[in-house]
Amino acid sequence: MRILGLDLGERTIGVAVSDEMGWTAQGVETIRRQSAEKDYARLNELILQYQVEEIVVGLPKNMNGTIGPRGEQCQAFASALAKRTSLPVHLWDERLTTMAAERMLISADVSRQKRKKVIDKMAATLILQGYLDAKSR
């Protein structure tokens, strides 16, 4: 069973998918957001391509655990995605995942220009891997 992980941003959506055993997450792509219809259409293509049965969407919480406007947008997106796909969609606390991804890329000596292209995909991978690790415990 494959699980899709998403890092939802204002301009992009980072996408990762699990292996069939649900042990590891791999980055797939970064979707440039155009319109809701095109975003959902591309996600649907990926769901079919990878035979996804479950989706995890990163939920950006404030450091004190509250949910701000960005988190509310992610909740609304996750709800709409669940209705459109009829798949279970889970929200996963993504606090600091983008910063962690950035640190990993800097430590790997990836140039700033290349980091911009892969940061969202990497954050989606970290979100999904965190979910997979918690699920396996």
pTM of the model: 0.89
For residues 16-29, give the mean pLDDT: 95
Q: Please check whether residue 4 is in contact with residue 47, taking contact to mean a CB–CB distance below 8 angstroms.
A: yes
Average pLDDT, the chain: 91
Q: Give percent of the chain above pLDDT 70.
A: 99
Quick one: angle between helices 69-85 and 36-50, nearest 10? 60
Q: How confident is the model at residue 96 (pLDDT cuts 50, 70, 90)?
A: low
Topology of the domain covering 2-136: Nucleotidyltransferase; domain 5 (3.30.420)
Buried b (16+ CB within 10 A) or exposed e, 40-66: eebbeebbeebebebbbbbbbbeeeee
From the list 41, 3, 32, the residue with the least C-alpha distance to 128 is 3
Write down the residue that tokens 């709800």 correspond to: 79
Q: What is the CB-side half-sphere exposure of residue 24 using CA atoms within 13 A? A: 3
Q: pLDDT digits over 46-90, tens only?
A: 999 999 999 999 999 888 888 989 999 999 999 999 999 999 999
Residue 113: what pLDDT? 79
Q: How far apart are CA 47 and CA 43, in angstroms?
A: 6
Convert the pLDDT of each residue in 115-133 to its tens digit.
777 778 988 999 999 999 9
- Rounded alpha-carbon distances, angstroms, from residue 23 to 37, 41, 46, 84: 31, 27, 19, 26
